[in-house]
Homo-oligomer: A and B are copies of this chain.
Amino acid sequence: MKIAIDAMGGDYTPLVALQGGCEAARVFPDLELILVGQEALIRNLAEKKKIQIPKSVSFCEAEDVVEMKDSPVTALRKKKQSSIMVAADLVKNNEAHAVVTAGNTGAAVAATVLKWRLLPGISRPGIALPVAHHNGISVLMDVGANVEAKPSHFYNYAIMGKIYAESVLKMSDVRIGLLNVGEEEGKGSSEIKEIFNLFKKSYFNFIGNVEGRDIFNGKCDVIICDGFVGNIVLKVIEGVAGALFQLTKNEINKTFLSKLGAIFCLPAFKRLKRKVDQSEYGGAILLGVNGVCIIGHGSSDNRAVFNAIRVAREFVMHDINRKICKEIETNGSL
């Protein structure tokens, strides 16, 4: 299996792409990794940092770099030789099975839709985010592929989220919830009420409206929302977690006794960090395009890139797109 890594997109690339890719090559002997980007620059970096590049890691030249601030349109029109465009081309030409990127999300969505097209029956792609909590994992979708989602797009997300939960997360009888401002039927905007009715009449195991707090309690498996709300929620989660860790640190540092106590708690804090650390989950998954694309956080470190590669490998192995197509053939779409 071959996985193309967008080695230039993201805050800490190409270094973390190089490190994460090399580690994945060592851990997964069945993988070939292709670093897509400025080869000379990356080879120089490897030399400087004394990173041994395994044989299963190769390069594919891409001279342009999409910046985080670039609009998807700019990325597509003016940077045709960008790492994300070239990586998407590799999959299109059957030279790779999946793309991993920590770069500009909008550009990744635009490039893969342009190059790969959408799956039959899917009218808009969506980004699924696995969220870990003390009762397991929930999937939040869409977290930012499409900020003006129509009811039919919500329906698409529910199909894709269901298949993701079934095939990769091994859930059965997947419970679908609609993110809303209250649990009761009749809550929310007129569009949300329309979607509620659509879901109610569908073949989904639809448990009704869920609220923001239900993302973290296992009340349902897949939580559907539009990309505007989902992206804000994603960043609120990061923000709250960061703020709480900072506040805890400030309070603990105030006395000697609590500093000492914190030393005793260190292993517990480390396990906690590992549990909530998004870099352990390999980022979000772009679903609906005719290919596999894993989108890591812009601030991905080498561990996050490694995990994104691990997740990409799982998605290819589980042949999720074929399962989505089969689901739509059997149950229809909107």
Residues of A whose CB lies within 8 Å of any CB of B are 69, 71, 133-134, 144, 147-148, 179-181, 184, 186, 188-190, 192, 211-217, 225, 227-229, 231-244, 246-248, 250-252, 254-255, 257-258, 260-269, 271-272, 275-276
Contacts of A252 in B (CB 8 A): 265, 268
Question: Nearest residue in B to A106 (C-beta to C-beta)?
Answer: B182
Contacts of A266 in B (CB 8 A): 261
Cα-based distance from A271 to B258 in the complex (angstroms): 12
Q: A216, A268, A269: which has the most chain B beta carbons within 10 Å? A: A268
Cα-based distance from A69 to B272 in the complex (angstroms): 36
Inter-subunit contact A239/B257 (CB<8 Å): no
Inter-subunit contact B247/A257 (CB<8 Å): no
Inter-subunit contact A147/B261 (CB<8 Å): no
Inter-subunit contact B271/A264 (CB<8 Å): no
Question: Nearest residue in B to A133 (C-beta to C-beta)?
Answer: B243
> Of the candidates B147, B188, B214, which one forms a contact with A189 in the assembled complex, judged by CB atoms under 8 Å apart?
B147
Inter-subunit contact B239/A212 (CB<8 Å): yes
Inter-subunit contact A267/B240 (CB<8 Å): no
Inter-subunit contact A234/B212 (CB<8 Å): yes
> Of the candidates B133, B229, B268, which one forms a contact with A258 in the assembled complex, judged by CB atoms under 8 Å apart?
B268
Inter-subunit contact B251/A268 (CB<8 Å): yes
Contacts of A250 in B (CB 8 A): 134
Contacts of A225 in B (CB 8 A): 232
Inter-subunit contact A235/B255 (CB<8 Å): no
Inter-subunit contact A144/B233 (CB<8 Å): no
Cα-based distance from A235 to B210 in the complex (angstroms): 10
Give the 6 A-B residue pairs with the shortest CB-CB distance, closest first: A261-B264, A212-B235, A213-B239, A212-B236, A216-B243, A261-B265
Contacts of A233 in B (CB 8 A): 212, 232-233, 236
